[in-house]
Structure 1
């Protein structure tokens, strides 16, 4: 029994020791506090402040720490000893606040604090919230805002359900300077919509709301869309059985292996790339979406950059009665001025959040492209069935492109035939 007791005691001591919390980091070598910061300068910024300072001459200095409170909760922010700047953010008000700055060494000794007062400028979540607007639109509402500081925020969008209870409908993550978003998917019955801004510190703007009746629209069935081959239009596809026209209407997008890729036109290519489609119905168009060829290709190669749309409600092959089928000059240039037979619909560009002329493609640009580029038709345009795309420029550079690829096209509107 005595031997058993000894074994048990040893085992218990072993377990106790193994459960002790191990020290992480350098073992303290002294208890001498580092010196204090000097020449501290404070600059108030939206939602916070920037501190610039001189560091003390201490060989074992590790970092600078700011201690402060927001909404009664204590926070700390640290800056490396290799920097002379520390930034604190997250305030939702413009009141005066107290901040304590410490120097900490490798033995975890704290210097005496320097206590400073800050008075944050208006936080971006408030200024963005004040710029928010809601407007009636197709299938929902159009939300617009301004973000001059390019702060990273969430736009929370709400819509009333069938019982009139407000439900979160969508969240937009954004840092663009001028924001715009369409909340879709609602029928044409009157309902309340609302929007507000939230930042990563759980600060919220005031809520704006309004009652709107969305414009009616429906998805134009893709199985009825076909290609009309007119003089000067680009040939069917490049490759053998791949990149065909119908792959532009199969609801596959955001990839680099599916879509329509043209061949070089057999006629004089100097006028640009053209193609013509039959929607299968006479439609009062509301909008359409275009997806570039995905993968690593957005804003590159033969993706469309600048183009125009023209439409008509009768089969364009009927124009052959007055304009010969092989009249290249008419089909490449003249039809644009033929207002009797063709209706100008709109000019389009594949925009980039980072800037249309910015040569760098950012992750936000790619996210924007993969969500599809949306184009809104003027509601006063007449119904059309046939649409001709005139590609003025692709991202390959130069004007009058000869090759073109598009990932997907989707049209919306009201079928009127």
Structure 2
């Protein structure tokens, strides 16, 4: 059995179009509620958080209706980062956590992510079972057992206090000027308040959400805005989060950007020196740069690669007993602190290293020399399978032979959008460009 509704990070799509409609959200809420009430009993509860998208109101209400119809009591958190939902699900002893967000996507999109009672995202198996329940009749609660909904006013504050516990107790951020870009998203209040409380001079960017400006020319996927602010204000460092604050990019005092690979390299080396790195291993995805792997090899450390998606990173970390992992895109997972990627905690770890070492951000963001990497996307119509075309497979095979021993090629379907992602790495820039362009042209011809 395979999943049709769920992708690599929950259910996602364009708001008010299948599957991101109020009707589907209601049914999904009912199915998830029944799934987590299989043992019967009472006092079942679910926490729901969201980012700042206009469609969040619609989906929040629909999910609440579906969940309460099966007897689940709903606790509404309002705008809170995705990792905050993971934390509060466990902290508030809930059976289920739900985050309404499409992460780094534009405001027209939205998504629904589920967390289990342990605060971790649901497994593929659990998602398949919930999908299967949608196909049949979902047993509703008796009238006297319908759930209640309650808005929790201090959910964000609880998360903020938790985040501060990840920062070394003997350190402060006094004298540090930080540009903080919240992408007009879920962390627009939480992140600036945390940094200010720890002593930083905060220059906030992307903290005026209006329902349609989330990730719009701001945040971790558009770092130009933060970079300009860093230079204009003479800041020591910049931190750029995405719409649900589970990703982060770091900018040095010149506005230059460090992606997740560089941040993971810094933390891995530091944790290894301190004896904190479990199993001497960093878990990252197939997208992480070959330079990161060489950096770790030179230090006697290991890189374990997974499929793309922070959920798969976390699953590998839990299976192997590792405590540090993440993605090049900026998901940094530290299971000593959180159950999923947390951009704010990762940003604090970087700031702590600046304070501890006394080094500038520019000295910390370049831990290794990257192998040239080129990524291009090809959009296709849902339901089509361009990678199965014989012409595409032939071009891929020919180019894999050309680049063998010099680099690597990775081609995959996006789990969140109808895109084919064509990525290659190679020291020979001309060969790299040619290989990617040939494969992209073949895929485009097929679609």
Q: TM-score, normalised by structure 2?
A: 0.23
Structure having the higher Rg:
1
**When you count helix as a share of all residues, which structure comes out higher?**
2
